[in-house]
Every structure is written in C-alpha cells, then in structure tokens.
Amino acid sequence: MHGLRSAGPLWPEAGEIVPLLYRKYWETGVAGATSVDIERLGKGGHGYVNPMFAVSSAPGTDFAVHYGSEPLLGFHLAEAFHSFVTDRQAHIAAKIRCLVSAAKDQFRTWCVAFAGLVKDHRVAVQLFSGDAVTLCQAIQSVAGLDKQTDQPTAYTRQWKLQPLRFDGCTGRQDSERSILDGFDVIDTSNLGDHIGLINMVVAAAPLLQSKPTSVLYTESLLAVSDNATTSLATALCSDVATFSLLVGLAPSGYLTGTTVEGVSN
C-alpha cells in the first residue's frame, strides 16, 4: 500500500487500483498490464521481454527481482487520479490505461530532458558495485586530504580484496566538478532497512553540500514501531530533534509541519 504516496493528495482515489497494479505487474511482468502491452510480448516467447525479468544478478537461474518492485510507483500519478474525481463511474480498465499513459508521458519527458543534458555534457554517470557505507567513507577520506591523492585506501566491501578506485570522477586532474565537491541530492532508497538508519545517515550526510537546498532522501519498507508517530525516533534510537542537531540534517516534516502520510490515533 506504500504506492498510495504516488497519488499525493488524491490517495483516497488510489486505494482500490494501486494494489491491483502491483498484482498485475507480478502476474505479467508488464507495468499496468494493459492489453496492448501484453500483446507485444507475443506468443511462444518471440515478443519483447521485460529486462527486469530477463537479467538477474543472482547466480544460475535464481530470481533476483525485489519483491516490492512496481514501476509505476516512481511516477507522479496525481494528474491521472484527478480525472477520476469527476468520473466516479470510470471502468477499472480505463483507469489503468489512464495511469499507464500518464507514466509513459512523464518517462518520455524525463528521457528527452536527460538526453539534452548528456548532449550538452552537463551530466555524467558513475557506477559502483560494493558496500555503500564504504563508498561514502572513501569519498570523505579523499575529500579531506587537500588534493594529496585521488584514491582512497579501502576495499569495495568487507572480506573482499578488490581495492576501491575512483576512475576519472574526482576531478583532481581538471577543473570540472567531481564527487569530492559534495552532492545537492542523495537518494538512499530503503538502504536504512538493511544497514540501519543511523549508519546510513552518518555515512551519507557529510557528503551533502552545506546549502539549505541540499537533501537526503530515504525510505523504509519495514515497520520499526507499532506506533507510527514514534517510528522515526525508534529507528534513530534518539530524540529526533537531538539527532538532527548532531548530524546537521532535519526531516522535512519537522521543518514544514506537513507530510505525505496521515497518522491518527
């Protein structure tokens, strides 16, 4: 039901359809499972294949797609749900087509914008396979060496002998901005569920630029407390205000007094 957040303020309209979209995706491997997209799969396995299901990081033939995967959750679906407010009698299939169409339009717009940035040499993609906390600590260590070196003395993960190396992304050899200059935005997904929220924040927070617009995104798929109003304090093992003072970050809900979730007792 965490998909309700994709609908924003129109989440009441999403209560029926969002769980259905999740089930349809896992039944067919197609976002929204519209008849047109399913037909493109073809018969006998000769059509298009969803790469998420065709490529796996697991050895052999194991299935490694995350159990919470649902492509439509990453889009702003409020614009589609807005039309349902005035058309309460719309058939469920029509609603799904509307949602899928909105998601595809947004994805198309994002792709065009991204391609333009790449063409103008305004974006670079750097990949890393290893422990996230180790990477954060390595960046911190190199950034604090006052340009003495551009390589950390660390390994990619525990119990591995592969050295962690920054290949052409430190900017020490030119005037271009690099990973050592700090980040405006860091998205950690639900990494805190696996390594602990405190470990994740302490490792990532120093990498943000000291600007009021810098932001660290995080989320959780696990319930750490039976009381939703104290779940953040429970995850931090501390008073939220005190922890915010120590790390230099504060939850947006504490600053604005608003959140995308409603909790009542």
Residue 255 pLDDT exceeds 60: yes
Residue 62 pLDDT exceeds 80: no
Contact 175, 159 (CB under 8 A): no
- Alpha-carbon Rg of the chain, whole angstroms? 22
Q: Which residue has the higher pLDDT, 175 or 160?
A: 160
Residue 30 pLDDT exceeds 50: yes
From residue 248, alpha-carbon distances to 33, 133, 134, 201, 212 in Å are 44, 18, 21, 10, 11
Per-residue model confidence (pLDDT) at position 166: 81
| Band (88; pLDDT cuts 50, 70, 90) | low
Rounded CA separation 229/206 (Å): 27
Residue 46 pLDDT exceeds 60: no
Please name the residue that has the structure tokens 């407390």: 225
Residue 265 pLDDT exceeds 50: no
Per-residue model confidence (pLDDT) at position 146: 53
Per-residue model confidence (pLDDT) at position 201: 93
Residue 150's φ and ψ, nearest 5 degrees, are: -115, 15
Residue 57 pLDDT exceeds 70: no
Contact 3, 258 (CB under 8 A): no
Longest dimension (CA), the chain: 67
Contact 255, 237 (CB under 8 A): no
Contact 152, 164 (CB under 8 A): yes
In terms of Cα–Cα distance, which of 213, 253, 247 is closest to 232?
253
| Band (168; pLDDT cuts 50, 70, 90) | low
- Percent of all residues in the chain with a pLDDT value above 90, rounded to a whole number: 17
Average pLDDT of the residues in 217-240: 85
Per-residue model confidence (pLDDT) at position 2: 58
Query: Of 17-31, 73-87, 206-220, 240-254, which gets the smallest average pLDDT?
Result: 73-87
| Band (208; pLDDT cuts 50, 70, 90) | very high
Rounded CA separation 246/238 (Å): 11
Per-residue model confidence (pLDDT) at position 127: 84
Q: Which residue has the higher pLDDT, 209 or 24?
A: 209
Per-residue model confidence (pLDDT) at position 175: 47
Per DSSP, 163 falls in state: B
Task: Decide: helix, strand or coil at residue 215.
Answer: strand
Contact 24, 99 (CB under 8 A): no
Within 13 Å, how many C-alpha atoms sit on residue 102's CB side?
Answer: 20
Contacts of 19 (CB under 8 A, 6+ apart): 1, 3
Rounded CA separation 113/103 (Å): 15
pLDDT per residue over 110-123, tens digit each? 999 999 999 998 88
- Give counts: helices (H), strands (E), the chain: 11, 2
In terms of Cα–Cα distance, which of 22, 50, 53 is closest to 38?
50
Contacts of 190 (CB under 8 A, 6+ apart): 218, 219, 220, 221, 222
Contact 218, 188 (CB under 8 A): yes
